[in-house]
Structure 1
Amino acid sequence: MGHGGNVIAELTTDHREVDELFAKIGALPVGDDQRRKLVDELTIELVRHSVAEEMYLYPAVRKHVEDGDVIADKELSDHAQVEQHLKDLEGMAADDSQFDPLVAQLKLEVSGHVRDEEDRLFPLLAAACTPAALDELGDKVRTAKKMAPTRPHPSAPDTPPGNKLLGPGAGLVDRTRDLLTGRGKG
């Protein structure tokens, strides 16, 4: 979280970190408690990443990319599905019979979303924006991730201005809960 560079470099690095977390989860035996801890880490990263994209990336896509509204709406729909899976996994024990199928479905959906962003959305955005604009978006995304919630909130708004108003408050509450419970601390 918070790597530096323009928005595309920042988000691509996040994507690789998520890939690594899925690989770590997959390398552990079914039912291993460490899988639960890794899913918590994965959830934190995915929620922060998604919130930052919703606050800054998708509005920029709507503004600068041809057919940006259609593209952004599709990405938001992907996020909603992923967030619901994260909510379903929240608090579920690693040995629950639904845990592994949900993690597998989550991985499939996240992988498809990442491919779509990296193969289609990022090149379109890079062609439509100046390097300075992409750098500025990178800074905004990094700032947003620091303030973002760390737990799924499927009913929260995912577009401005609602997400920019409610996100930081939910983020503060989530980070306080994480601190008190030790969630996300491997």
Structure 2
Amino acid sequence: MARAALNAIEILKADHREVEALFEKVRQRTCIGKEREALVREICLALRDHATIEEEVAYPAFRAAGVESHILDEAEVEHDSIKQLIGTLQSMGANDPHFDARVTVLGEYVKHHFGEEEREMFPLAQAADAELDALGRDLIEMKRQLGAGCMPRRTRNMLGLGTAI
């Protein structure tokens, strides 16, 4: 039996957990060189796609539901900073002397950003009755449009999709 549709908050939190797990792999320093670059590239792609669905689907819906503009504006500015770091990381290799420092800073920015969303924005969206089930369907559709890499394994599993999208 397929699971009921996930609401938007559950989907966004699943993305957060997936990215956090990837950062944990980097922190454990069990991979080096090209393998480390590939893991960081996976993080960067996941963050890029996550930011896209938030900026194009979730945030506008939260704004329309009455979530305070300053919270959404701050989140968008945080996205800009994260995207700048991603761009820098994508232009360097793991052998660059600042690669690990930039990955660490990116992880700290992302942790801060996810924390604020989960502590402040998401509860306000829930309280504002932001039609989270319908928004969840929109997020899943956007993820499908962005491609297989965009939907974390946890989300696919919760939807009963396995590896297919």
Partner of 1:32: 33
In 2, Cα distance between equivalents of 1:20 and 1:141 = 21
Q: By how many angstroms is 1:21 displaced?
A: 0.2
Verify the 8 A CA contact 2:67 2:125 in the aligned structure 1. Answer: no
In 2, Cα distance between equivalents of 1:147 and 1:53 = 14
Q: TM-score, normalised by structure 2?
A: 0.81
In 1, Cα distance between equivalents of 2:136 and 2:8 = 4
Verify the 8 A CA contact 2:33 2:94 in the aligned structure 1. Answer: yes
Partner of 1:109: 109
Q: Which runs of 5+ in 2 are unaligned?
A: 149-165
Deviations 1:23-65 (A, max 9, x none): 1111125853211000111111111111000011111221113
Deviations 1:119-147 (A, max 9, x none): 111111011116xx101111111211232
One-letter amino acid matched to 1:142: I
Question: In structure 2, do the counterparts of structure 1 residues 45 and 66 end up closer, same or farther at CA, with 3 Å as the change threshold?
Answer: closer
In 1, Cα distance between equivalents of 2:31 and 2:6 = 37
Partner of 2:119: 119
Matched positions, count: 145
Verify the 8 A CA contact 1:54 1:76 in the aligned structure 2. Answer: yes
Verify the 8 A CA contact 1:75 1:113 in the aligned structure 2. Answer: yes
Question: In structure 2, do the counterparts of structure 1 residues 137 and 66 end up closer, same or farther at CA, with 3 Å as the change threshold?
Answer: closer
Q: Secondary structure at the match of 2:94?
A: coil
Greater RCO (Cα-Cα under 8 Å, separation 6 or more): 2
Percent of paired sites with the same residue:
34
In 2, Cα distance between equivalents of 1:34 and 1:51 = 26
Q: CA RMSD in A?
A: 2.0
Question: In structure 2, do the counterparts of structure 1 residues 66 and 94 end up closer, same or farther at CA, with 3 Å as the change threshold?
Answer: closer
Partner of 2:92: 92
